[in-house]
Amino acid sequence: MQDLLATLETFLEAGVDEIIQDTPRNLIAEKQEKLVANQVKQNPVVAQQVSQASPAGPAIPQAANINKANLVAELKPTASSIAESKKLAEAANSLEELKEALANFKGCELYKTAKNLVFSDGNRESDIVLIGEAPGASEDEQGIPFCGISGQLLDDIFRAIGRKRANNLYITNSVFWRPPGNRRPTDEEIAICRPFVEKHIALKKPKLIVLVGGTALASVLPDITTTISKIRGNFMKYKNPYLDQEIDITAIFHPSYLLRQPGKKRVMWDDMVKIKGFFS
């Protein structure tokens, strides 16, 4: 029972707040089967080999013209997708150019099911940048990060320390399109978007970066393996390939977590006091 409770707590910290289906699905296996089926449909030789295969045999035909490595590559973010995101991010010399590059980028398939690109909101001259997780339904509808219930709470939290979007707050995301069903972005989707996030930070050059939630932590600080509950409240130094100097960075709970765990609001307030003190 304790193990189960610990697992649920970990899920909540990561932002998992709903179950989409009653039973789990192996999406990787399903996609692999679909890829093989397409290969079979397009190649009579492969079709014959599949029909003669034993039920206990391998799931992927061993035909010479079917490369298992290529099939596996299609299940992961290809090197070309990440290379393209790096190329586009490096070429952007302004926030406008970065946003345009994202609008035309097809390497992250989340754009296919999303209504809008969700790039940023707030004052571009702000000395603090908040990086959230991924757009939800409200954000996808309006194209604005943190505009739903969680965003309203986030606004209230920062308003308590004298920060408002219109005046001295700037907000962006780790992933710029809504994942279907509000699921957590996959590691692959985060990796594809990471160059854009890094260049976004470099173009803004804030005094402080605030990571809002576990997905933001995984996006910006992928080498850190601890949970956000253990790292929050600490100030660290951050640098990426597009920065010429380090920037201070910290992390806070996602407001959706506070909505589920109101007892953590006291901890959040302690973090807010530290953030306000950083600029004193």
Rounded to an integer, what distance in angstroms lies between the CA atom of residue 143 and that of residue 58?
A: 45
- Name the packing angle between helices 79-91 and 187-204 (round to 10°): 10
Q: Which two tokens stand for residue 198?
A: 């890094």
Q: What is the pLDDT of residues 32-84, one digit of tens each?
A: 566 556 554 555 544 454 445 444 444 444 434 445 555 454 545 568 899 99
Q: How much of the chain, in percent, has pLDDT values that exceed 90?
A: 70
> What's the pTM?
0.74
27 pLDDT tier (thresholds 50, 70, 90): low
pLDDT of residue 80: 86
pLDDT of residue 132: 97
267 pLDDT tier (thresholds 50, 70, 90): very high
pLDDT of residue 79: 82
What's the mean per-residue pLDDT of the chain?
Answer: 84
pLDDT of residue 58: 44
Q: Does the structure show a pLDDT above 90 at 204?
A: yes
- Where is pLDDT greater, at 64 or 200? 200
pLDDT of residue 65: 45
- Where is pLDDT greater, at 157 or 47? 157
Q: Does the structure show a pLDDT above 50 at 162?
A: yes
pLDDT of residue 55: 45
Average pLDDT of span 97-111: 97
pLDDT of residue 238: 97
**Which string of DSSP letters, residue by residue, matches the chain?**
-HHHHHHHHHHHHTT----SSSS---HHHHHHHHHHHHHHHH-HHHHHHHHHS-TTS-SS---TT--HHHHHHHTS--HHHHHHHHHHHHH--SHHHHHHHHHH--SSGGGGT-SS---EEE-TT-SEEEE-S---HHHHHHT-TT-SHHHHHHHHHHHTTT--HHHH-EEE-SSSSPPGGGPPPPHHHHHHHHHHHHHHHHHH--SEEEEESHHHHHHH-TT--S-HHHHTT--EEE--TT-SS-EEEEEE--HHHHHH-GGGHHHHHHHHHHHHHHT-
Q: For the chain, which domains are there?
A: 28-75 (no CATH), 92-278 (3.40.470.10)
Q: What is the pLDDT of residues 164-197, one digit of tens each?
A: 999 999 999 999 999 999 999 999 999 999 999 9
pLDDT of residue 195: 98
Average pLDDT of span 98-121: 97
